[in-house]
Amino acid sequence: MNIRPLVASLSAAALVGLGVAAVATAASTDGGSANIARYSAVPTFVAPGPAFDASKAKGKTIFEIPVASYLPFVVNIGKSMKAIGQQVGVKVVSLSNQGQPSQWIQGIEQAITQKADLIVLNTAPDPRLLGPQLAAAHKAGIPVLVTHLYPSGRKLPPNVTAHVPAPFRQVGMLLADGAIAATSGKANVLVIGENQFEGSRVILASLNAELKKACPACKAKTVIVPINDWATKISTETSTALNADKSINVVVGLYDAMQDQMIAGITIAGRSDVLTGSYNGVTAVIKRIQGKKIVAFTVGESANQVAYFNMDQALRILSGVAPVKDPATPFRFFDASNAAQAGVPPKDDKGYGSDYKSGFLKLWAGAPAAAGGSSSTDTFNMREFAFDTTSDTVKAGTVTIVGTNKGNSVHNLVFPTLNKKTAFIQPGKSFKLVLTLKPGSYTYACTLPRHAENGMQGVLVVK
């Protein structure tokens, strides 16, 4: 869930009673530095599932119900979905609402009356409050897609066809890693949380697990502030905690919407030495990072990227293709080292890359092979400190590089002139990287400190 301003109008009944999935994200053993290095980079497009012919969805209608129409991030997702729909011949109708469950109910009833082909619950309308209406949609033959509400691995409620999860576990991990990095491994963290939303509870559990594993000597105290009290109580809770414990050096809020009140509390306590971090990546927070004004880091998402992932899942359903299980939506860690990449001043959706746009359009067209090129596979296994390759000479065309990390350390594979790279690969894990290559020579390397200079580099020759 993204709370981008305060979601004050949501009733408590809409928020409570949700179970928390187990936190499955592996905790760091290196103080989180590898996580930060990995997620500080511009996300590279990875297809969420197999290519398919999305033209089968042309002429169909999606009825999109946002959690609330006054939340900029949510509204921008809806606008982007509508624009993407125009590109592929699918109509997207959006329900304007003020975050009231009664309005969501009316929206589903409208979708059924208008004979929509798909209902999308965009960013947190809780299906468990809509049981009778979702049953009616199911009876009418209308599938339902839920987005950005649940973490991956979540069992879906009845009459929900599929979902696009939010990266709550990874966000919690990075919030902990950011606090550790910002304090040079000496974090005493004040966590400002809320526990009404399932996603918030998952973030909190992941944050505490990562902090305990990655920095056993670090400390943390959590203060829970209900959403409706954010505007009045966060500053007081922050200043009270800082005055009670002068060793607290970083305040982590679950969401960027908490930042103003956290900073007010820091100011009241006269603690100019304290830093902050949070989740959502709103432009005002990134601007503070750029100006080195208290905020040290944020974990951000692009509304436009989320919209493309939503539409990919929607188009699969509308085209009669099996939806993807738990597609992974991109996100990025911003701190002083990369905040300028979001624009100066920051702009929405800038700093997240753009290759996903063409990537999705090719995916929806069935991803035909490039005309006139060959297809080949090359193996790049990793170890300390070398790449064991099948061949360093390949033919021009589509080259799929596969490999396994057979070493004992984390490695990656980067082709800098192609702007192509793998994720950071854990020992024993495999990877695949698809390249479209013209004749020439392309350098490659592992970019972890000192790995390339110790031998993890080379040149791939394309003929």
At 270-280, the pLDDT tens digits run 999 999 999 99
Exposure b/e, 56-80, CB count within 10 A at least 16 = b:
ebeebbbbbbbbbbbbebbbbbbeb
Predicted local confidence at residue 72, as pLDDT: 80
Domain spans in the chain, listed from the N-terminal domain onward: 44-166+303-327+352-364, 168-300, 374-462
Predicted local confidence at residue 309, as pLDDT: 97
Structural element, H or E, at residue 231: helix 230-244
Whether the pLDDT of residue 93 is over 80: the answer is yes
Higher pLDDT, 332 or 328: 332
Whether the pLDDT of residue 293 is over 90: the answer is no
Mean pLDDT to the nearest integer, 411-431: 91
Instruction: Read off the pLDDT band of 169 (50, 70, 90).
Output: very high
Overall fold of domain 44-166+303-327+352-364:
Rossmann fold (3.40.50)
Overall fold of domain 168-300:
Rossmann fold (3.40.50)
Whether the pLDDT of residue 283 is over 50: the answer is yes
Predicted local confidence at residue 463, as pLDDT: 81
Predicted local confidence at residue 392, as pLDDT: 79
Instruction: Read off the pLDDT band of 336 (50, 70, 90).
Output: very high
Output the 3-class SS for 76-100: HHHHHHHHHHHHHCCEEEECCCCCC
Instruction: Read off the pLDDT band of 421 (50, 70, 90).
Output: very high
Whether the pLDDT of residue 25 is over 70: the answer is no
Distance CA 123, CA 300 (A): 15
Strands 440-445 and 457-462: antiparallel
Q: What is the full DSSP assignment across 137-191? A: HHHTT--EEEESSS-TTPPPPTT--EEE---HHHHHHHHHHHHHHHTTT--EEEE
Whether the pLDDT of residue 210 is over 50: the answer is yes
pTM score? 0.73
Token representation of residue 176: 């902990």
Whether the pLDDT of residue 340 is over 90: the answer is yes
Mean pLDDT to the nearest integer, 20-38: 61
Mean pLDDT to the nearest integer, 87-96: 96
Higher pLDDT, 44 or 321: 321
In terms of average pLDDT, the best of 22-36, 69-83, 176-190 is 176-190
Phi-psi group of 12: left, alpha or beta (phi > 0 → left; psi -120 to 50 → alpha; rest → beta): alpha
Predicted local confidence at residue 416, as pLDDT: 86
Instruction: Note whether 168-300 and 374-462 share their fold.
Output: no
Percentage of the chain beyond pLDDT 90 is 65
In terms of average pLDDT, the best of 48-57, 73-82, 309-318, 430-439 is 309-318
Phi, psi of 4, rounded to the nearest 5 degrees: -115, -10
Mean pLDDT to the nearest integer, 387-398: 83
The answer to whether 132 and 106 are in contact (CB under 8 A) is: no
Token representation of residue 243: 């005055």
Mean pLDDT to the nearest integer, 214-220: 96
Task: Sheet containing 414-415: give its strands across.
Answer: 393-394, 457-462, 440-445, 414-415, 420-421
Token representation of residue 83: 């624009």
Least confident of 126-135, 208-217, 316-325, 437-446: 437-446
Whether the pLDDT of residue 73 is over 90: the answer is no
Omega of the bond leading into 431 within 30 degrees of 0 (cis) = no
Whether the pLDDT of residue 333 is over 70: the answer is yes
Least confident of 153-167, 227-241, 247-261, 432-446: 432-446
Phi, psi of 352, rounded to the nearest 5 degrees: -110, 5
Domain 374-462 CATH (choose: 3.90.1150.10, 3.90.79.10, 2.60.40.420, 1.10.3720.10): 2.60.40.420
Q: For the chain, what is the largest distance between any 2 Cα atoms, rounded to a whole number of angstroms?
A: 70
Instruction: Read off the pLDDT band of 374 (50, 70, 90).
Output: low
Token representation of residue 213: 């594993």
Q: What is the full DSSP assignment across 324-352? A: PSS-----EEE-TTTGGGGTTTT-TTTTS
The answer to whether 318 and 56 are in contact (CB under 8 A) is: yes
Predicted local confidence at residue 30, as pLDDT: 62
Predicted local confidence at residue 99, as pLDDT: 87
Instruction: Read off the pLDDT band of 395 (50, 70, 90).
Output: confident
Token representation of residue 279: 């989740």
Omega of the bond leading into 345 within 30 degrees of 0 (cis) = yes
Mean pLDDT to the nearest integer, 267-290: 96
Instruction: Read off the pLDDT band of 370 (50, 70, 90).
Output: very low
Predicted local confidence at residue 331, as pLDDT: 94
Distance CA 300, CA 283 (A): 10
Mean pLDDT to the nearest integer, 54-75: 92
Whether the pLDDT of residue 435 is over 80: the answer is yes
Distance CA 23, CA 153 (A): 10
Predicted local confidence at residue 19, as pLDDT: 31
